[in-house]
Amino acid sequence: MGRIPIGVQLYSVRADCARDLPGTLEQVAKMGYEGVEFAGYHGYSAQELRRMLDDLGLKCCGTHIPLETLMGDVLKETVEFNLTLGNPYLIVPGLREERRNSKAAWLETARLFNEIAEQVKPYGLRVGYHNHHIEFQPMEGELPWDIFFSNTSPEVIMQFDVGNAMHGGAQAAPFLRKYPGRAVTIHVKEYSATNDKALIGEGDVNWEEIFELCETIGGTEWYIVEQESYAYPPLECIARCLENLRRMGK
C-alpha cells in the first residue's frame, strides 16, 4: 500500500481553534499536515469548514462526536454535515457511564454500533470508537476493548489511541494484530512513564513496531497526531511532533 498520510486532532490546539479557527487551520496546513480531525466546529457550518479545508488543501480525516449524534432523528443531520465536510469517519471518543459499566452494557453498545454502521454505510460513511484508558481495565474477566471489538462488525473502526492505552497498561501491537484491518485511523500519541510532556518519539512507545503493523495488517488510512500535554505552546508541539514523525521516515 502507499504512504499513510498524517493528520492532526484539532483538540491538540483547541484554544487556538476557539480563538481563530481559520488562522489555526492555515498554520496546520503550513506545517505540512495533510488532514484534520475535528473535536467541535466552533460555530462554523459544514459549508464554511469545507471551503476552508479546500482552500488550504486539507482533508477531513475524522470527527469526534457524541454517540447521541448518531442516533434517532439527529443521525440524518450528522450524515448530511459530514458528507458536506467530506469526512467518512464518524468517531465516538467516549461513552456515558451506563453504556460501559458492565459486560452487558458493552454488548448492547456493540449492537448499537453495528446498527449505526449499517445505517451510514450507504452514504460511504463509517462509525468508530476511540479509547481512553478504562477500556483496558478488566471487567468480569475480560477487557472492555475485547468485549466491544469482538462483537462489532469489521465495519466499525477501531481508532486506537496509543498513548491512552499505555496509560491503561496496554500496548497497541497485540490489539492491532488481534483485530487486523480495523485500525482505519490511529491516534499517534506518545506515552512516557517519566515525562508527561513527551512529544512523539520522546517516550516509551515502540513506534517502529506500530507503524509496521499499521502499514501491513492494520488497514490504516490515516495517522492522526494528538498531543494533550505541552512542553511548548500547543501549535509548536504539533509542529515538532510532525518533524519527529518525518525523522522516522513518515
pLDDT in tens, 206-224: 999 999 999 999 999 999 9
Span 229-234, average pLDDT: 98
Does an H or E element contain 223, and which? Answer: strand 222-225
Task: Calculate the alpha carbon distances from 247 to 119, 188, 192, 210, 214 in Å.
Answer: 41, 15, 19, 16, 18
Grid cell, residue 80, equals 448530511
Amino acid identity at 150: S
Q: What is the mean pLDDT of residues 57-69?
A: 98
**Gap between the Cα atoms of 229 and 36, Å rounded:** 19
In the DSSP assignment, the letter for residue 173 is H
CA atoms within 13 A of residue 93's CA, in its CB half-sphere: 16
- Please report the pLDDT score of residue 2 as a whole number: 84
- The answer to whether the CB of 121 falls within 8 A of the CB of 147 is no
Identify whether the C-beta of residue 203 lies closer than 8 Å to the C-beta of residue 179: no
Percent of the chain with pLDDT over 70: 100
In the predicted model, what is the mean pLDDT of residues 181-206?
A: 98
Distance CA 158, CA 124 (A): 17
How high does pLDDT run on average in the chain?
98
Residue 145 has pLDDT above 90, yes or no: yes
What is the rounded CA–CA span in Å between residue 199 and residue 214? Answer: 20
Q: What DSSP designation does 186 have?
A: E
Mean per-residue pLDDT for 78-104? 98
- Of the chain, the percentage scoring pLDDT greater than 90 comes to 99
pLDDT tens digit sequence for 109-134 = 999 999 999 999 999 999 999 999 99
For residue 1, what pLDDT is reported? 59
pLDDT value of position 32? 98
Is the pLDDT confidence value at 84 over 70?
Answer: yes
Give 122: exposed, middle or buried? Use CB within 10 Å, 0-12, 13-18, 19+: exposed
DSSP state of 199: P
CA atoms within 13 A on the CB side of 40: 12
* Cα 142 to Cα 193: distance, rounded to the nearest angstrom: 25
Cβ atoms < 10 Å from Cβ of 181: 12
Residue among 225, 155, 154 nearest 188 (CA): 225
**Residue 107 bridge partners (DSSP):** none
Instruction: For residues 212 and 223, give the distance between their C-alpha atoms in angstroms, rounded to a whole number.
Output: 12
